[in-house]
Structure 1
Amino acid sequence: MLPLIVVIVLIIIGFYFFSKKKKTAVQPLLSIDFKQQLSAHIPYYQKLDEGNKIIFEQKVEAFLTGITIEGVGTTVDDIDRIMIAASAVIPIFGFSDWKYRNLTNVILYPDTFDGEFQFEGENRSILGMVGTGYMNGQMILSRAALLKGFSKSAGKENTAIHEFVHLLDKADGATDGVPENLLAHEYVLPWIKMIHQEINKIEHGKSDINPYAITNEAEFLAVVSEYFFQKPDQLKHKHPELYEMLSRIFSQDPAESLS
């Protein structure tokens, strides 16, 4: 049996290394001035006033502290991390204290992948995915799609924002296009009606919304949310009722606050 003094010393040493390890694990893995990179690469951030820029920066740091980002078949650099974090923050920027409790890891692939998570070979068309089943808590993103979403050629599309909207939708227990945690009960039925009306217009070629939105209600929400955050002025002009409902869901008015 060890002497009492030895046991005490071992406990102190163990506590020291545990505390040190815990502290190290939560540090954001950024070696560059991330504020400068936000200004260079994130249009949403560029248009915020100074006070909201500080809040955005804090939310980016908080996300990077709590979520593991790793690459498979590609190297993850700090700009990748900043773009992923910004994609997570943009949809929840209107909420004072939102955390993605249904996410632990973001896995970055070099490009498109297939349903078996392979990023080489044929039949690769998936740009992003929120995991279910044994992949629950994971998100997979194409690095090529991530970069394109923040490029000048992105247009109305941003794959990473699309996937984070799926996570918001999933937070109430069902990825069904009706984020009940974010939408007051009296707006649920009008929102569902609006979804189906707009899907009908898309099917008949009378809408500029990406046709992928007709896949199901969940994809409709994610697709129009990309449009909402990427081109808010255009969405507000062409689809005012849809814009107003999305403003309720996300508790923000990007066409106004980013003008």
Structure 2
Amino acid sequence: MILSWFRNRRRRRILAEHFPADWQRLLERRLRHYRHLPLEQQRRLHQIVQVMVVEKEWAAASGLEITVEMKVTIAGEAAVMVSGHEPPYFFDRLHTLVIHPGTVRFSPHQAARNQNLPAGDFDGIAWHRGPVVLSWTRLRRELMGQSPGHNVVLHEFAHHLDGLCGEMDGAPPLGDVKREQQWYAVTESEFFRLVGNARRDEATLLDHYGASNRAEFFAVATECFFELPHELRERHRELYDTLADFYHQSPAEWLPRHETTANLQTDADGNYVHIDLRRRRRSDHAR
């Protein structure tokens, strides 16, 4: 109770400050979603960014120097996904973000010494009840439109949301039994559909990485929901509507179609073939 009082007082002080004009210009330049957001969602995004930049611990790895630009960009990407919620959600259970200059890499020796470290190369990792780790190089490539449909910040923050009510199992907090039943019915059907598509090596809109497990399915679906909302709504309407209910927003209503969608390869049926440039392994969420 006392800690909440101090936290709320600190936040009132943070939010009493005007949103910096250079931060706004940065978001307009860096985040495709930002300039298209409804004004009320932009207002909430500003509040979330202000709080996250100040409150979170921003840790650098491998000699990287953390800049305000990095903090605002990452906080802005994360804020987009929860900008439909009122009151604003500040990711209160996330305390630390670790930013790597390039690929996040843990050797077999490191993993053997620490059971919480997954061995391999990653673009990001979200620890259950722990930090979110991101590759700045990967994020920069995605911001430049080099991987349409992919967004490492959305992916890893979706894992964080997934773990708020227990294990990372593809079922984030939903609030009531009816919504949980709807979520289970739709996501189970879509998950097994993607598993079958991946097994047969068929072209899909949703990245085959989502067939790894239900947690990855939710994270991949979240990326697609925000990055390719028109295509997801057209091809997976029930999944789109279920995610829109959870995130309290409908990006297809305000975000133009991705400028580079036409550059994606398609098969004879018009299905998008995603060439996945990420080097994620099976567990980019960790216990």
Q: TM-score, normalised by structure 2?
A: 0.72
Match of 1:93 among 65, 77, 83: 83
1:77 alignment partner in structure 2: 67
1:221 alignment partner in structure 2: 218
Give 1 or 2 for the bigger CA radius of gyration. Answer: 1
1:175 alignment partner in structure 2: 168
Match of 1:241 among 220, 233, 238: 238
Distance 1:109 1:27, change over 3 A: farther
- Cα distance between partner residues in 1 of 2:36 and 2:175: 25
- Cα distance between partner residues in 1 of 2:141 and 2:251: 21
2:283 alignment partner in structure 1: none
Match of 1:200 among 196, 212, 217: 196
Q: Secondary structure at the match of 2:122?
A: coil
Match of 1:162 among 139, 155, 161: 155
Distance 1:182 1:202, change over 3 A: farther
- Cα distance between partner residues in 2 of 1:212 and 1:124: 16
Q: Secondary structure at the match of 2:245?
A: helix
Unaligned runs of 5+ residues in structure 2 are 1-5, 111-118, 257-287
2:115 alignment partner in structure 1: none
Contact 2:194–2:208 under 8 Å retained in 1: no
- Cα distance between partner residues in 2 of 1:214 and 1:188: 17
**Count of aligned positions:** 229
Look up the equivalent residue of 2:124 and give its one-letter code. G
Measured after TM superposition, the shift of residue 206 of structure 1 is 4.3
Contact 1:148–1:158 under 8 Å retained in 2: no
Residue correspondence of structure 1 range 1-259 to structure 2 within 5 A: 33-73=22-62, 74-97=64-87, 98-116=89-107, 124-132=120-128, 136-181=129-174, 184-190=179-185, 191-204=187-200, 205-259=202-256
Contact 1:202–1:211 under 8 Å retained in 2: yes
Unaligned runs of 5+ residues in structure 1 are 1-18
Q: TM-score, normalised by structure 1?
A: 0.79
Measured after TM superposition, the shift of residue 256 of structure 1 is 0.7
1:6 alignment partner in structure 2: none
- Cα distance between partner residues in 1 of 2:195 and 2:81: 22
**RMSD of aligned residue pairs (Cα, Å):** 2.7
Contact 1:172–1:181 under 8 Å retained in 2: no
Contact 2:224–2:232 under 8 Å retained in 1: yes
Using CA pairs under 8 Å that are at least 6 residues apart, name the structure with larger relative contact order, 1 or 2.
2
Distance 1:105 1:197, change over 3 A: same
Measured after TM superposition, the shift of residue 93 of structure 1 is 1.4
- Cα distance between partner residues in 2 of 1:142 and 1:197: 30
